Structure 1
């Protein structure tokens, strides 16, 4: 029996029977020479899968992009995409797991920023980036996937950001918003979601979020370790995703240095207490 993991906006995901470390993503699932499930409408799924195939080939290997193993023939003239299998999607795991340590979440933010910087370096824009499209592996390593809605070169994208991740118009026409700025705004939302372990304005409807963003009202980042970086993403202050990655890496190093310094002082105080205990009493 084919093990179907789920149906997304662009295709059906099932376990690859010849190697369960991989999944197949396609518009049809076949088992034993029989079709078990089909995506409707098939035309939309086929178009998105064709884009995704092109994007993965363009991107090549990157430690924070899902590993692509090419197309697999599942039936006559029917192909699926073969991808490495994650533990799960980040957003779904947020509902099941307690948040890891802040340092780990910051590392996750660095990873997705590096992945996005690589995507942009290959003249690709995700166009539907969010924690729905980030996948988790062992030790909280995260990778970006789901490129069916992406823009590659001059081709028009098939996708768009969810409302919580959508750059406000700010006096522009919808089509006039720069793709880099759109992606960096979405990146800031993903960093917020990772650091807070919940969606931006999780309790609000899409209409309420739309109104807030139009009025420049964003989730509160006061007290967040990287709140200033998130706000800069939302205010369109970063020129590239590489700049965001650099700012996050600096924060990560600073945090590690502070932790090391704190540990050193703790060890010194412990040593001091031990030496005092050896001092003879008069």
Structure 2
């Protein structure tokens, strides 16, 4: 991870703050690497603070309880993120709920894009499930805002093209975001990431060849495929 999460004693709040390492007794190479990680962690958290302040209070977007020099304080969501929730409840959740989650997820992303924010790491991991089962988009650590380039990239099954490093290039564009939305919808409706049983290099090779998992039997199959094929210009 790029930050530390700590749960409050009452179990109601989560503090997110930058990584810190003790380097006093490390050799020069290890110490330099640790300092680099700490600097990156601070940069990404500062970007996240900026984005939350820019987005303001809006239904479906996680609202920090506090933004300070120490870090960010958020409410705790007992249902966890959507990926974990899908894995725990798969087979129990009805199609109507899955379709509602798909609709909510795209609506949240569309709003952030309209505000000039590209998450650049779209995933079921970055949606929290509320007590009423509604989705709350969160985690803008290192995301793109305006002309400030992204500091993160997506996991392989959500990435449009091979990225030589974690920053990538395609994902900081609308084209990359739309591709990720296709994978997001696929995971919501199937409970698994695209090509979940394959390794990263195999997935990348297939994506570069324009080969994607079959979607014809899925409720939003044609939309998912159009996202992967680049036939949409935005989340709208």
Residue 147 of structure 1 is matched in structure 2 by 140
Q: In structure 2, what is the equivalent of residue 105 of structure 1?
A: 98
* Higher normalized strand content (fraction of residues): 1
Alignment correspondent of 2:206: 212
C-alpha separation in 2, matches of 1:56 and 1:20: 23
Q: Residue 245 of structure 1 corresponds to which residue in structure 2?
A: none
**Larger helix proportion of the pair:** 1
State the shift of 1:142 in Å.
1.1
Offset of 1:201 from its aligned partner? 0.6
C-alpha distance in 1, partners of 2:172/2:138?
A: 22
- Residue in structure 2 matching 1:223, options 206, 217, 227: 217
Aligned partner of 2:6 among 3, 10, 14: 14
User: Which of 136, 161, 167 pairs up with 1:168?
Assistant: 161
1:236 corresponds to which residue? 230
Residues 28-87 of structure 1 deviation map (CA, whole Å, 9 limit, x = unaligned) = 69xxxxxxxx99932221111100000111111222211222324xxxxx5020112222
What is the root-mean-square deviation in Å for CA atoms of aligned residues?
2.2
* Secondary structure at the counterpart of residue 50 of structure 1: helix
Tell me which residue corresponds to 1:95. 87
Aligned residue for 2:15, secondary structure, equals strand
The 5 Å alignment of 1:1-282 reads 9-17=1-9, 20-27=11-18, 41-72=37-68, 79-86=70-77, 87-99=79-91, 100-168=93-161, 175=169, 179-242=173-236
Q: Which has the higher contact order (CA 8 A, sep 6+)?
A: 2
The Cα shift of 1:118 comes to 0.8
**Unmatched tracts of structure 1, length 5 or more:** 1-8, 30-37, 73-77, 243-282
Give a deviation string over 1:14-38, Cα, whole Å, max 9, x none.
Answer: 1234x63321111269xxxxxxxx9
Q: Structure 2 unaligned runs (5+)?
A: 21-33, 163-167
1:93-120 CA distances to partner (integer Å, 9 max, x unpaired)? 2332224111101100111111101111
What is the TM-score with the length of structure 2 in the denominator?
A: 0.84
Structure 2 Cα separation of the partners of residues 91 and 202 of structure 1: 13
Q: Find the aligned partners of 2:208 and 2:37 in 1 and give their Cα distance.
A: 34
The answer on whether the counterparts of 2:159 and 2:171 sit within 8 Å (CA) in structure 1 is: no
The list of structure 1 runs, each at least 4 consecutive aligned residues, that deviate by more than 6 angstroms after superposition, is none
- TM-score normalised over the length of structure 1: 0.71
Q: SS in structure 2 opposite 1:13?
A: strand
TM-aligned CA deviation for residue 133 of structure 1: 1.2
1:160 and 1:193 map into 2 onto residues whose CA distance is 18
Could you tell me how far apart the structure 1 residues matched to 2:132 and 2:176 are? 30
